[in-house]
């Protein structure tokens, strides 16, 4: 197997290297790639979409259709992880462990036993050696809001600076995942329930595709944001910019929710217990 | 509205997939109806499209209103019009047929399953309809990812591993394709298929184009499981749940064949593929190898589903060989066989899912006495078998006819012999199965009833679609003349004679 | 020799990506451990991403964002030569997302396999299957 | 030569298919069998209704669908096809009657399936008779192979299983392995598959290629049981006797021979065969089959196997006659389709009747059976005369024309073959008949009490026996049709 792998890899590499002979040099401004299609993006973006960030414009408008399916890919990955891993109604263990937060004492509760309801002094743990780290938890509590704020900024400012739905969405998702890691999955799930999360995934993509479909209903082609002008009450160019913004929000929601969903399923093997 | 069909074709399933996944959390009962409506609309739109293409010729749809090559555009011509119709119809029929088995196998995850199902169909339709090389890659990934999920839901102990291996191979294939597109982009600066084709001719001698062609082909072959790149397919298709295998087995490989033909015909024109490169002959020999090996390996199997998967591998050989014969008859046969093989495979796998639904197994010994116990299912199986063997008037005969006459025209007798050989082997394969189900008395260790009622057919929702498909096999066979004269003939450029 | 150096210098970006790709491909085929295969897969995809991004670069081009372009739309002419090609970046955003998605699915599958066989070594799994 | 477009041929084919659903759904045996009769009668009437048109020298054409450029699924009723269709559709009626008696007496299982596939097989047979081109013929040929499989293996026991394998191996194997490629090559040569007066392959290819095609097509239609592809026929005798009677004496084997005749006349054309001088090859194959078949028949003790080998030999008479490529010879060959059909089916009916009445299968156990079943054995005697080719039976005419044909073609060896094989026929039939009637009392194995098989069995065989006598004195319309066909082919 190793030999074959080596041979195949070398063959493929040799073929590809052989092809580079006819490639333009690196950064060659005269290469077809930089002269055939892209110049229009660079020169016309501003007046066609009034979005200074060409990447965002191309991503969400010129090739917005790709991006919609890109979001769909993420979404379907989330669904696949869910359908593969999620186990419903995993039977409660005979006895569950609780830790008394203030003293750090661990207590066993037999099945049917009850800890004092609505008291934050106890937290559920799955194994005895689950560490309890006050510093990490506190730091994360402080950090997470800023992370999320930054995520929102990245989404919102995608028009003018590097950024956009994906980046922002990932940051938002990461903030929640950080929370889940620093505390435990149950606590995180109490913040964002599984169902809400799954619905958010669908909603995010739906915002994107729905915007496109709306353009279609308004009489122009699919994803032709210019059609939104009549609704938003602006000129078509600005409508494009706004349309891009709307779909970026959709992307952000979808990516965030899916990241969380995948993490939840993978980290807890679909049991939705303590997690990592 | 009809000018929006190209978009609706893909967007309606996509939106409804989202609705389904929402419904899965809010109101499970709605999932199936939404899916049915979505695929129904898709089928309607695709057939409408086909009719429009027949009347008006190529349809170009600019997504986002941007002109190609700057924006992404859909090109619908006779070739993918036909394939679209097949894909959507097959998916629709199979959806209806597999409702029962889905709800039996995944009681609490039906929502997610239907979501994946519809998403996969979206991906396949998108692959077929798009005119943009990179967009094709994205949709390919959607179809593949959902496919991995759908397959891995099968038998607990084997399916995940099979699906994982499929994922490795599939990813390599998709990455090769992506690389090829990149190579094309670097020398042409465009991603739009037609635009690339326009720019390429002066570059035919370029090493980069040659490499791009090769790695694109290898990638596609990996995806369509052309021997010897087929290793992932049998397990993946065998251990998948009935509903998935009867969706993926008919469609995935065929769509990849379509992609190959599209690359040959549209992107790298036939002139480049057949004339400039002197490889077509050796590729036909590869196809011959695929056919022979597929047939032999199929003989070695002891359970129905796996046997069928090897039959699929042989069929892939048919189409690749036909396409690479480089003449009109062969190409016609290949395209016609995309349609026929999709239907044949659908028929066969629907039979398998009916059997699995009733007797909980598909090994040969589970088939004892089924001809008496499930006469209609097995009757449909007989028709499917005849079509795969290639007996008139079932459609399989006619595509084989075109393929062989293509081989004769090209003077490639090896391919002709391989086709006849595989027909004979298919006779043995299916006759063996039928013998077991005809002579041996019914006995089943899964269900355990040794004194069964004389007839225990699958429920009507599974039976009626199956019978429709079986009838379709004959009808398509009888209308082959029209299909060829009015559709396929225009799908093949004048250059090929 | 000299022109070979020239070639290398002019196109070293391709050489780098091809090397990476070979590593990834080799890992995917030759490695015995399923997760290592997944790692190789990611290396492979990353290599392709690098390749695409390197296509986009232009000597003397800056990031494809028109500075203080907002407000006065198209007030000052924009020269294609001044900005690097945005298209590959867009494509690679997609490719990155795809590879992330694939990674997620692959890991999920690996977990399923591990739950069933309690190992990720391919040969051990095959042995277990065979003895059944 | 006027051609009339009419849907009648299609109806003739479909009528027995349409009845299948009714047969499946009908619970009561009587209803089922009634419907079988209705179908058989309807089929016969439709076929018969076309006879006058054909006799007036017209042709009836109907195109179902053009499936491949230049090739359609198409029916054309000409004299030869009409002759064959007339024989098989008329015999279906008697056979259904006979089946009822036979199957009921022996309490066979799953009779519904039996009758369904019987109807199915008849559709295919008529389809072959009326097919206008090689593709259509191939279509119905395959359909017949598949439809007859469940009939051959009706008993579903290990013996049936192995014979069924052999049957399918020979029939389907040859049709896919030989006929299909030959058909494709022919299509690529000529661009059409339409049976022509002079054969559509006339003057298209080199002699070696033609020889190859001839071999592929003549042996490819293995139902004609030309040696060495004959051994499926004895094996197929595991089937219930009515099946052997209609299918393996009439429908299936005759379809094979009919296809060969079509190939010789319609695909290659007699002129071309004469020009290429292929006649000796055909004659050789046929003669060998005749003689060897007859010799093997001599050594058989099982009555049905004996009949099977006799059939093998007799079929080659037809090939021989057409292979002579002389007008009289062809007339004789085509006539023999009808004559042999009536004679041989009678013989099979008798064998079945004996089996039903006494359960005996072997000749050695039937000594003196003539006293117990006089009617049956009388019929047997008449039919065997017809097969041997003696007056007062129809077989005489066809054999007479064969002899004339061989003289006409100056093929003395063939004359010898014909006469010698007639002697052989006599040699394997007559002793049995003699023993059946005139055996010494002590070696008789049956009591003298007359005890025939049930009415449903006896009446049909009497009818067919009588017909084969009548055919001597009134060979119309078969003779007319045959000679018309020959005229059409040779243009004389």
pLDDT value of residue B181: 93
**CB burial readout D239-276, b (16+ within 10 A) else e:** bbbbbbbbbbbbbbbbbbbbbbbbbbbbbbbbbbbeee
Average pLDDT over residues B97-106: 88
pLDDT value of residue A264: 92
State the burial class of residue B154 (Cβ atoms within 10 Å of its Cβ: 0-12, 13-18, 19+).
Answer: buried
Pick from B158, B172, B186: CB nearest C28: B172
C-alpha to C-alpha distance for D209 and D216, rounded to whole angstroms: 10
Of B48, B34, B97, B35, the C-alpha closest to B468 is: B97
Task: Measure in Å the smallest separation between the Cα of B364 and chain A Cα atoms.
Answer: 30
Chains that touch D (3 or more CB pairs under 8 A): B
Contact pairs from chain B to chain C, CB under 8 Å: 66
Distances in Å between the alpha carbon of D410 and those of C3, D279, D320, D413, D482? 89, 12, 14, 9, 22
- Chain B residues with CB under 8 Å of A65 CB are 63-64, 71-72, 135
Read out DSSP for B149-215? HHHHTSSTTTHHHHHHHHHHHHHHHHHHHHHHHHHHHHHH---BHHHHHHH-GGGTT-HHHHHHHHH
Pick from B158, B164, B179: CB nearest C48: B179
pLDDT surpasses 70 at B348 = yes
By percentage, how much of chain C surpasses pLDDT 90?
Answer: 42
- Chain D residues with CB under 8 Å of B390 CB are 176
Query: How many residues would you count in chain A?
Result: 276
Chains that touch C (3 or more CB pairs under 8 A): A, B
User: Does residue B20 contact residue A199 with C-beta atoms inside 8 Å?
Assistant: no
Residue with tokens 């995935």: B252
Token digits for D367?
């000594």
Task: Measure in Å the smallest separation between the Cα of C70 and chain B Cα atoms.
Answer: 22
C103 touches chain B (CB under 8 A): no
Handedness of CA C14, C17, C20, C25 (dihedral sign): negative
- Chain D residues with CB under 8 Å of B391 CB are 142, 146
C-alpha to C-alpha distance for D355 and D307, rounded to whole angstroms: 14
**β-pair type (A122-125, D59-68):** unpaired
Peptide bond into D281 cis (omega under 30): no
3-state class of A109 per DSSP? strand
User: Does residue C20 contact residue A7 with C-beta atoms inside 8 Å?
Assistant: no
Segment among A252-256, B321-325, D94-98, D369-373 with least mean pLDDT:
D369-373
Torsion from C-alpha of B383, B388, B392, B393, nearest 10 degrees: 50
C-alpha to C-alpha distance for B42 and A162, rounded to whole angstroms: 38
In this structure, the number of other CB atoms found within 10 A of the CB of residue C33 comes to 15
Query: Phi-psi bin for A90: left (phi > 0), alpha (psi -120 to 50), beta?
Result: beta
What is the 8-class DSSP label of residue B360? S
Torsion from C-alpha of A197, A202, A205, A208, nearest 10 degrees: -110
Residue of D nearest to B437 (CA): D156
- Chain C residues with CB under 8 Å of B168 CB are 28, 37, 41
C-alpha to C-alpha distance for B497 and A225, rounded to whole angstroms: 45
- Chain B residues with CB under 8 Å of A51 CB are none
Pick from B145, B152, B175: CB nearest C48: B175
Read out DSSP for A83-99? HHH--TTPPPPSEEEEE
Query: Over the stretch D151-168, which tens digit does the pLDDT of each residue have?
Result: 888 888 888 888 888 888
Query: How many residues would you count in chain B?
Result: 497
What residues does each domain of chain C span?
Answer: 2-60+84-131
Task: Look at A274 and B472; give whichever has higher pLDDT.
Answer: B472
pLDDT surpasses 60 at C75 = no
C112 touches chain A (CB under 8 A): yes
Handedness of CA B238, B240, B242, B245 (dihedral sign): negative
C-alpha to C-alpha distance for B389 and B341, rounded to whole angstroms: 11
User: Which value does ipTM take for this structure?
Assistant: 0.89
Distances in Å between the alpha carbon of A258 and those of A71, A73, A81, A146, A188? 10, 10, 10, 21, 15
Handedness of CA C42, C43, C46, C48 (dihedral sign): negative
In a structure prediction context, what are the per-residue pLDDT tens digits for chain D, which is 492 residues long? 678 888 888 888 888 888 888 888 777 778 888 888 888 889 999 988 888 888 888 888 898 888 888 888 889 888 888 889 988 888 888 888 888 888 877 777 777 888 888 888 888 999 999 998 899 999 999 999 888 888 888 888 888 888 888 888 888 889 998 999 999 998 888 888 888 877 888 777 788 888 888 889 888 898 888 888 888 888 888 888 888 887 777 788 889 999 998 888 888 888 888 888 888 888 888 899 989 989 888 888 888 888 888 888 888 888 888 888 888 888 888 888 888 888 888 888 888 888 888 888 888 887 778 778 888 888 888 888 888 888 778 888 888 888 888 888 888 888 888 888 888 888 888 888 888 888 776 776 777 677 777 778 888 888 888 888 888 888 877 888 888 888 888 776
CATH topology assigned to domain C2-60+84-131:
Helix Hairpins (1.10.287)
Residue of B nearest to D145 (CA): B391
In this structure, the number of other CB atoms found within 10 A of the CB of residue A139 comes to 13
Q: pLDDT category, B261, cuts 50, 70, 90?
A: very high
Task: Measure in Å the smallest separation between the Cα of C45 and chain B Cα atoms.
Answer: 7
pLDDT value of residue B448: 52
pLDDT value of residue D1: 66
**β-pair type (D3-5, D59-68):** parallel
The CA-CA-CA angle for residues D476, D37, D126, to 5°, reads: 55
In this structure, the number of other CB atoms found within 10 A of the CB of residue B92 comes to 22
C-alpha to C-alpha distance for D73 and B397, rounded to whole angstroms: 13
φ, ψ at C83 (rounded to 5°): -120, 145
State the burial class of residue D343 (Cβ atoms within 10 Å of its Cβ: 0-12, 13-18, 19+).
Answer: buried
Residue with tokens 């194994």: A127
Query: Over the stretch B138-162, which tens digit does the pLDDT of each residue have?
Result: 999 999 999 999 999 988 788 999 9
C-alpha to C-alpha distance for C62 and C39, rounded to whole angstroms: 33
3-state class of B75 per DSSP? strand
What residues does each domain of chain A span?
Answer: 52-88+134-267
C-alpha to C-alpha distance for A227 and B63, rounded to whole angstroms: 13
Query: Over the stretch D2-36, which tens digit does the pLDDT of each residue have?
Result: 788 888 888 888 888 888 888 887 777 788 888 88
φ, ψ at A97 (rounded to 5°): -95, 140
Query: Over the stretch A55-69, which tens digit does the pLDDT of each residue have?
Result: 888 888 889 899 999
Query: How many residues would you count in chain C?
Result: 132
Average pLDDT over residues A18-46: 84
By percentage, how much of chain B surpasses pLDDT 90?
Answer: 63
In this structure, the number of other CB atoms found within 10 A of the CB of residue D415 comes to 17
pLDDT value of residue B173: 94
Contact pairs from chain B to chain D, CB under 8 Å: 69
pLDDT surpasses 70 at B449 = no
Q: Is the pTM of this model over 0.95?
A: no
Q: Please compute Rg for chain B using Cα positions.
A: 22
C100 touches chain A (CB under 8 A): yes
Question: What mean pLDDT, rounded, does chain D reach?
Answer: 85
C-alpha to C-alpha distance for D372 and D358, rounded to whole angstroms: 10
């Amino acid at each position: 197997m190793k030999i074959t792998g080596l041979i195949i890899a070398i063959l493929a590499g040799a073929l590809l290297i052989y092809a580079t002979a006819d490639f333009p040099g690196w950064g060659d401004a005269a290469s077809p790639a930089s002269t055939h299609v892209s110049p229009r993006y660079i020169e016309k973006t501003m007046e066609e979409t009034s979005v200074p960030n060409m990447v965002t414009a191309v991503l969400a408008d010129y090739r917005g259709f790709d991006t919609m399916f890109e979001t769909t890919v993420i979404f379907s990955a989330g669904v696949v992880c869910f359908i593969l891993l999620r186990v419903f109604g995993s039977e409660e263990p005979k006895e569950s462990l609780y830790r008394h937060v203030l003293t750090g004492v661990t207590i066993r509760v037999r099945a049917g036993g009850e800890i004092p309801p609505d008291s934050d002094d106890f937290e559920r743990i799955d194994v005895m050696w689950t560490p309890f780290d006050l510093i990490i938890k506190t730091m994360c509590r402080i950090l997470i809001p800023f992370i999320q704020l930054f995520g929102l900024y990245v989404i919102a400012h995608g028009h003018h600076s590097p950024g956009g739905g994906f980046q922002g969405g990932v940051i938002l998702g990461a903030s929640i995942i950080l929370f889940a890691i620093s505390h435990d999955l149950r606590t995180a799930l109490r913040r964002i329930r599984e169902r809400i999360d799954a619905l958010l995934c669908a909603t995010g993509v739906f915002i994107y595709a729905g915007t496109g479909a709306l353009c279609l209903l308004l009489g122009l082609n699919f994803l032709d944001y210019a059609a939104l002008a009549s609704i938003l009450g602006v000129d078509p160019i600005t409508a494009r910019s706004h349309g891009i913004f709307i779909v970026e929000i959709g992307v952000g929601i979808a990516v965030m929710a899916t990241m969380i969903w995948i993490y939840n399923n993978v980290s807890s093997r679909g049991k939705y217990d303590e997690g990592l | 509205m009809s000018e929006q069909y190209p978009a609706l074709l893909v967007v309606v399933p996509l939106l409804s997939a989202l609705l389904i996944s929402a419904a899965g959390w809010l109101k499970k009962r709605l999932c199936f109806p939404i899916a049915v409506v979505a695929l129904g609309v898709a089928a309607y739109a695709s057939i409408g499209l086909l009719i429009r293409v027949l009347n008006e010729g190529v349809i170009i749809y600019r997504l986002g209103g941007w002109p190609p090559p700057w924006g992404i555009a859909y090109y619908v011509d006779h070739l993918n019009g036909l394939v679209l119709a097949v894909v959507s119809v097959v998916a629709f029929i199979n959806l209806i047929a597999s409702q029962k088995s889905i709800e039996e196998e995944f009681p609490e995850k039906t929502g997610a399953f239907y979501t994946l199902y519809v998403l996969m169909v979206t991906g396949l339709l998108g692959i077929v309809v798009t005119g943009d090389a990179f967009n094709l890659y994205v949709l390919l990934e959607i179809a593949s990812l959902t496919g991995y999920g759908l397959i891995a839901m099968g038998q607990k102990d084997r399916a995940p591993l099979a699906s994982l291996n499929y994922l490795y191979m599939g990813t390599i294939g998709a990455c090769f394709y992506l690389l090829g597109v990149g190579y094309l982009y670097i020398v042409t600066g465009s991603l739009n298929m037609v635009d690339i084709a326009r720019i390429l001719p002066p570059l035919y001698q370029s090493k980069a184009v040659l490499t791009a062609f090769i790695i694109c082909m290898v990638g596609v072959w990996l995806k369509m499981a052309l021997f010897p790149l087929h290793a992932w397919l049998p397990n993946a298709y065998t251990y998948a749940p009935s509903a998935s295998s009867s969706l993926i087995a008919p469609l995935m490989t065929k769509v990849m064949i379509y992609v190959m033909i599209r690359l040959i015909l549209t992107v790298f024109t036939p002139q480049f593929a057949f004339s400039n490169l002197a490889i077509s002959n050796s590729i036909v020999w590869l196809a011959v190898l695929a056919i022979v090996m597929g047939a032999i390996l199929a003989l070695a199997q002891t359970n129905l589903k796996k046997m069928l998967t090897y039959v699929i591998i042989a069929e892939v050989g048919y189409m690749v060989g036909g396409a690479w014969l480089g003449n009109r008859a062969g190409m016609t046969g290949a395209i016609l066989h995309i349609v026929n093989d999709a239907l044949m495979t659908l028929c066969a796998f629907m039979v398998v899912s009916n059997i699995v639904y009733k007797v909980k197994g598909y090994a040969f010994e589970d088939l004892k006495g089924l001809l008496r116990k499930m006469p209609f299912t097995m009757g449909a199986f007989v028709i499917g078998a005849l079509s795969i063997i290639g007996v008139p008037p079932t459609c399989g005969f006619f595509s084989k006819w075109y393929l062989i006459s293509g081989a004769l025209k090209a003077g490639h007798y090896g391919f002709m012999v391989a086709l006849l050989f595989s027909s004979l082997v298919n006779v043995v394969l299916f006759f063996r199965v039928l013998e077991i189900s005809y002579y041996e008395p019914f006995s089943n260790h899964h269900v355990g009833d040794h004194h069964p009622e004389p007839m225990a057919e699958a429920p009507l929702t599974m039976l009626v679609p199956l019978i429709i498909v079986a009838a379709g096999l004959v009808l398509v066979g009888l209308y082959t003349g029209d299909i060829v004269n009015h559709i396929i003939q225009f799908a093949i450029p004048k250059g090929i004679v | 020799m000299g022109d070979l150096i020239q070639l290398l210098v002019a196109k070293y970006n391709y050489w780098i990506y091809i090397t990476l790709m070979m590593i990834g491909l080799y890992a995917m085929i030759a490695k015995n451990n399923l997760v290592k295969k997944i790692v190789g897969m990611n290396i492979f995809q990353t290599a392709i991403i690098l390749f695409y991004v390197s296509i986009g670069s232009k000597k003397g081009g800056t990031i494809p964002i028109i500075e203080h372009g907002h407000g006065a739309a198209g007030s000052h002419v924009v020269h294609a030569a001044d900005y690097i090609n945005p298209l590959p970046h867009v494509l690679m955003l997609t490719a990155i997302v795809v590879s992330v998605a694939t990674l997620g699915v692959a890991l999920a599958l690996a977990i399923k396999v591990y739950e069933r066989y309690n190992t990720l070594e391919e040969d051990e799994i095959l042995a277990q299957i065979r003895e059944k | 030569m006027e051609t009339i477009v009419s849907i009648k041929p299609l109806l003739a084919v479909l009528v027995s298919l349409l009845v299948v659903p009714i047969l499946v759904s009908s619970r009561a045996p009587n209803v089922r069998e009634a419907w079988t009769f209705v179908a058989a009668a309807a089929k016969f009437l439709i076929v018969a209704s076309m006879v006058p048109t054909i006799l007036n020298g017209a042709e009836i054409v109907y195109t179902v669908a053009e499936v491949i450029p230049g090739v359609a699924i198409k029916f054309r009723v000409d004299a030869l096809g009409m002759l064959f269709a007339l024989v098989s559709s008329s015999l279906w009626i008697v056979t259904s009657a006979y089946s009822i008696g036979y199957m009921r007496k022996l309490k066979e299982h799953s009779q519904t399936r039996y009758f369904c596939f019987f109807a199915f097989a008849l559709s295919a047979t008529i389809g072959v008779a009326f097919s206008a081109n090689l593709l259509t013929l191939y279509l119905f040929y395959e359909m017949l192979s598949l439809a007859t499989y469940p009939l051959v293996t009706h008993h579903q026991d290990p013996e049936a299983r192995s014979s069924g394998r052999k049957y399918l191996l020979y029939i389907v194997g040859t049709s896919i392995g030989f006929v299909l490629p030959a058909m494709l090559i022919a299509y690529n040569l000529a661009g059409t598959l339409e049976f022509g007066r002079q054969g559509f392959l006339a003057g298209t290819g080199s002699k070696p290629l033609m020889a190859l095609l001839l071999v592929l097509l003549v042996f490819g239609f293995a139902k004609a049981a030309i040696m060495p592809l004959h051994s499926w026929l004895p094996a197929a005798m595991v089937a219930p006797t009515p099946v052997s009677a209609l299918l393996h004496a009439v429908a299936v084997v005759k379809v094979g021979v009919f296809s060969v005749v079509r190939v010789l006349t319609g695909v290659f054309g007699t002129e071309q065969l004469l020009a290429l001088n292929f006649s000796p090859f055909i004659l050789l194959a046929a003669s060998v089959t005749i003689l060897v078949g007859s010799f093997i028949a001599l050594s058989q003790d099982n009555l049905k196997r004996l009949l099977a080998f006799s059939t093998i030999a007799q079929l080659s008479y037809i090939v021989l006659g057409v292979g002579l490529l002389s007008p009289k010879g062809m007339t004789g060959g085509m006539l023999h389709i009808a004559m042999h059909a009536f004679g041989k089916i009678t013989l099979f009916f008798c064998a079945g009747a004996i089996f039903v009445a006494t359960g005996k299968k072997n000749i050695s156990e039937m000594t003196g059976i003539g006293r117990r079943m006089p009617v049956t054995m009388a019929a047997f005697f008449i039919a065997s005369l017809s097969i041997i080719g003696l007056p007062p039976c129809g077989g005489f005419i066809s054999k007479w024309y064969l002899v004339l044909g061989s003289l006409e073609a100056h093929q003395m060896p063939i004359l010898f073959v014909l006469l010698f094989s007639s002697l052989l026929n006599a040699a394997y039939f007559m002793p049995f008949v003699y023993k059946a009637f005139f055996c010494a009392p002590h070696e008789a194995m049956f009591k003298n009490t007359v005890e025939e098989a049930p009415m449903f069995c006896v009446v049909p065989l009497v009818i067919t026996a009588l017909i084969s006598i009548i055919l001597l004195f009134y060979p119309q319309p078969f003779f007319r049709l045959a000679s018309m066909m020959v005229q059409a082919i040779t243009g004389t």
